Copies of this chain bind each other. A is one copy, B any other.
Amino acid sequence: MPNLNRLLAGLPAEDYERLLPHLTPVTFSLGEVIYESQGLMEHVYFPTTGHVSLLYTMVNGATAEVGLVGNEGLVGIALFMGGDTTPNQAIVQGAGEAFRMKAAAMQEEFRRGGAFQLALLRYTQSLITQISQTAVCNRLHTTEQRLCRWILMTHDRVHSDDLQMTHEFISNMLGIQREAVSIAAHRLKNKGAISYARGRIRIADRGSLEECVCECYQMVRDEK
């Protein structure tokens, strides 16, 4: 169940079989850069057990994440949206496996206009919802709520209660200070929602996290 890409898995057998020869398994290692901002994109990636952050970097070096892609989607939507670069960076946030496909092969299948095209467009719509909700959430919700949301979203894409990530890393995703992450994490620890130490966060009580999180989490989840 976890070891597949849900977008691919939802295709009719006929379409899937046509794709199969073009799918190459690859391994994502933590922190690996899949796409550089403005860099040339040559493949799309269908994560299975790995997952990827879509990141923007400002001229002063500040960063913030706009979306998270796991086995529900694919990385590289610009390649069928009529571009060959993206303005954002894509980096591996959870190590694991993915299938890779050459841009040209993907585009050829996309142009057939069948179930594959539909699935890709549907996913893109749900990603738009995720990014939009992030925009609103960044403006209207507290650090603690946003941290909860991010942990829950990550948890949904990792098949474990143990997440490997430092406060520093999270601060770059949420676009906040490292210290602010430590403080918010400490509060969540006091509530019994999580525990953590040196680059490891354990989800102790998902229910507590769901109580703290803002509505944005459910909104995006329901859309899928």
Interface membership of A13, Cβ < 8 A:
no
Oligomer copy total: 2
Contact status B135-A131, CB under 8 Å: yes
Q: A140 with B219: in contact, given A56-B133, A133-B56 (CB under 8 Å)?
A: no
Given contacts A87-B223, A132-B135, 17 further A-B contacts (CB under 8 A): A56-B132, A56-B133, A58-B136, A58-B140, A62-B140, A81-B125, A82-B125, A83-B122, A83-B125, A111-B113, A113-B113, A128-B128, A128-B131, A136-B175, A139-B174, A139-B176, A140-B175
Interface membership of A71, Cβ < 8 A:
no
Q: A139 with B215: in contact, given A78-B125, A82-B122 (CB under 8 Å)?
A: no
Interface membership of A201, Cβ < 8 A:
no
Q: Considering only CB atoms and an 8 Å cut-off, how many residues of chain A contact the other chain?
A: 41
Q: Which of B64, B88, B124, B215 contacts A124, CB < 8 Å?
A: B124
A7 to nearest B CB, angstroms?
A: 12
A85-104 interface (Cβ within 8 A of B): 87-88
Interface membership of A166, Cβ < 8 A:
no
Contact status B128-A64, CB under 8 Å: no
